[in-house]
Structure 1
Amino acid sequence: MQRNHSIDTIRGALLLIMTINHFIWITVGWAGIQLITLQPFGQVGAAEGFILVSGLMVGLIYTGADAASNKKKLLTRAKQLYIYHLIAILAVLTIAYCFISFSQPANTFYSELFPGLIGNTVPTLVASFTLLHKPPYFDILPMYVAFLLISPFVISQLKKKRIALVITTSVLLWLGSRYFDLSTLLTLYFAEGAINTGYFSWLAWQLIFVVGICLGYYSRHQPINWFKHPAITFLVSIIALVLFVFQRNIFAQYGIHQGTLYELADKPLLGWLRIFNLFLLVYLFGYIIHRWSQALTFKPLALLGRHSLYVFSWHYVVIFSVAPIALGFFDFQPNITVCLVIVSLLIFVPALIRERNKSPKLVVEKESN
């Protein structure tokens, strides 16, 4: 099926935003640019959008007639991402030890970030290989691997016209996430700092991935005209605008501000307001793409989006390599803005390499035709 470059652009933008935010959080904690990159439209961040769009792409791409082939591709993809995740951990660990050998502040920095990996390396690595332990900021790929593994089952149920069962089960798991804490159970069996089950609850976050699969599946097989009634689009726009205004703390004197909104939009457990806000934005961006299919296309970001999972794996290596330099653990300390530019440019490396390796094949195919 024909690739939509606007969706690739959105995915690329989400990748860039996550990279910027992660780099800032591990270095200076907060920077002015996060007025734009950190939940700019309401109680929704880049991670939620990335997971939903990833589910959407699964529903669009892997729901063809050949179920066996699609299942094999999904499982192969999950295995590939699992390997990338482990390589990223090993690469960051290697980088950390290199910096530590030259700088005592770097030792403190990495030990505080990765107490298990630095202080108790072998058991923590073993736990990482089983995906029980996820170092800080390494949450999304393991979660995505798990979601890819359940995708063939979800797709099979959609093909049997059991969408009500799929959504009901997913919602019940989301509700159940409030009562099941894997971290509390596992910490009894591991040394302090050796286990970190991650920031996100998989039971909660599967909801937006599953909804993404459903949206992608029906977009491909039974398209629904979501934008048939202008009044609905207008209402969604108004509600999204209200949440945007509330997010700006304009009504803080009345007790409506980011803090009170977050109580309803808890991120690790996906509060109902976060999900509601996310779907409002998905609807509005979908409307823009529906009306003007390439309106959101921006080639550099679309490039990132086309190779999103390679870029996401690589971004760990970039941010944890540049962070000690940005923090001045050596004889020089570039301005944080300079470091942000460097980090933002470096995440394009795997996308550019893959495009370059792909180009000769395309040329051969064109010449043979």
Structure 2
Amino acid sequence: MNRRLWEIDALRGLMLVLMTLTHLPTRYADPLGQPFGYVSAAEGFVLLSGYMAGMVYTARERRDGEAVMREAFLRRALKIYACQAALLLFLFTVIALIGVLARQDAITNLISFYFEQPVTAFFSGLLLIYSPPLLDILPLYVVFMVLSPLLLLHGLQHGWRGILALSVLLWLLAQFDLGRAVYDLSVALTGLPVPFPQTGAFEMFGWQFLWVMGLWMGSVQSASRDPAPLVFPPWLVRTAVVIGVVGLVWRHAVGQLPFPGDDGLNLMFDKWHLGPLRVINLFALLVLTLHFGTRVAARLPRLRVLETLGAASLPVFCAHLVLALLLLAVAGDAGTPRAAWIDALILVGCFAVLYAVAWTSGELDRRTAAMRRQLRSQAADAALSVAVRARAGGRR
């Protein structure tokens, strides 16, 4: 299990690197975005996060019971919510002020709703309703973490078939704008003043599919005492190879949009709704990773940098958003004319900051864990001492 955990950390670190390259406003954002086909780092990150949640919290439930597992989920959800609230406050104060003083359109356009209705934007942002661009994925995580104990317990007690079927149904309805229908109903019932485009680009009912898939795979992996390695039929591996190669070549030959000028066909690859062809491309890459990953990893040196980033995924993710927002406020968007060496220097500096954040977070986690072990040991010694004195007193 430990061996597989470092591989997952390295994969999550890779996803963070790709997301950072995409979000930092440099000339490298477009050519390095979606480098493996019509799949972005966000899909891989959500799937891996769901997998880790399923694996870790299933083990927690088996070891400590249902109540402890629920509490652990809630603590994590509150931690993610605190990160989102802090990022919103940073955006609405520091970044907004810099954007106004610098007359930076990249910022004033990014949070135009906040400038128009600051009070509504502030409180609806804290309620996870208003989700500005770049800050619209952590609200998904909060919701997923809150719902995950119910899903996990049902899966452990009754099986995953019904949950997976419902998840697929919701994803299918999301392709027909289920999220917009729910929003319209909410407006009709409550008079919600936040415009639909300001509620976030990610279609939650579509993206829950990846989280549920990851949660299921991680839970099954953790619950199995001696899990057998996945073996795919040769025809599936060959099909995945074809789809993966076609997606890779198509992406870099045509560009980020697979069908330039045809919005209808592009919906099949749509990121925000998690379009069907995008899911097929993702699953092909998943099959290839699971089939060839172990052999490839055995022949490559361990990338400790990626492992460090992946092990501190939440702090690194938040730090990369802070850096992206600061750069948008100070330097403008990716279309702002700058020398190539400046953009390269920006990337080097930002990744140095992210690694420092990850390393510091890891050190704090290690020291906290060591302190807890010491306190538990001291408590055990104290309890033993009390027991010994009580026995001695009884003999007298």
How far apart in 2 are the matches of 1:340 and 1:185? 43
Following superposition, the deviation at residue 234 of structure 1 comes to 3.4
1:348 to 345, 355, 376: 355
Higher radius of gyration, 1 or 2: 2
Following superposition, the deviation at residue 257 of structure 1 comes to 5.2
Q: The residue matched to 2:58 in structure 1 has which SS?
A: coil
Unpaired runs of 5+ residues, structure 1, are none
**Any conservation in 2 of the 1:315–1:347 contact (CA below 8 Å)?**
yes
2:165 to 150, 162, 168: 168
How far apart in 2 are the matches of 1:113 and 1:351? 28
2:118 to 117, 121, 124: 121
1:41 to 23, 36, 39: 36
**Deviation string for 1:254-309 (max 9, x for gaps)?**
xx757776332211111111111111111212223433555474111111110101
Mapping 1:178-217, distance limit 5 Å: 178-180=176-178, 181=180, 182-184=182-184, 189=191, 196-217=198-219
Following superposition, the deviation at residue 34 of structure 1 comes to 3.5
The equivalent residue for 1:78 is 77
The equivalent residue for 1:357 is 364
What RMSD, in angstroms, separates the aligned Cα atoms of the two structures? Answer: 3.1
Equivalent residue letter for 1:20:
L
Following superposition, the deviation at residue 67 of structure 1 comes to 2.4
The equivalent residue for 2:286 is 282
Mapping 1:11-160, distance limit 5 Å: 11-24=12-25, 31-32=27-28, 34-35=30-31, 37-64=32-59, 65=62, 66-100=65-99, 102-103=101-102, 105-106=103-104, 108-160=105-157
The equivalent residue for 2:276 is 272
Percent of pairs with identical residues: 27
Unpaired runs of 5+ residues, structure 2, are 378-396
How far apart in 2 are the matches of 1:203 and 1:194? 15
Name the structure with the higher helix share: 2
Q: The residue matched to 2:253 in structure 1 has which SS?
A: coil
- Is 1:249 aligned to residue 253 of structure 2? yes
Shift in CA distance, 340/118, structure 1 to aligned 2, threshold 3 Å: farther
**Any conservation in 2 of the 1:318–1:347 contact (CA below 8 Å)?**
no
The equivalent residue for 2:223 is 221
**Deviation string for 1:61-85 (max 9, x for gaps)?**
1102122211210111001100110
**Deviation string for 1:119-140 (max 9, x for gaps)?**
3222111000111100111111
Shift in CA distance, 360/176, structure 1 to aligned 2, threshold 3 Å: closer
Following superposition, the deviation at residue 174 of structure 1 comes to 1.0
Give the TM-score normalised by structure 2. Answer: 0.79
How far apart in 2 are the matches of 1:67 and 1:355? 28
Shift in CA distance, 290/337, structure 1 to aligned 2, threshold 3 Å: closer
How far apart in 2 are the matches of 1:214 and 1:132? 28
**Any conservation in 2 of the 1:9–1:298 contact (CA below 8 Å)?**
yes
Paired positions, count: 353
Following superposition, the deviation at residue 244 of structure 1 comes to 2.2
Shift in CA distance, 234/268, structure 1 to aligned 2, threshold 3 Å: same
Shift in CA distance, 215/245, structure 1 to aligned 2, threshold 3 Å: same
How far apart in 2 are the matches of 1:164 and 1:296? 39
The equivalent residue for 1:317 is 322
1:301 to 286, 303, 306: 306
How far apart in 2 are the matches of 1:296 and 1:211? 29
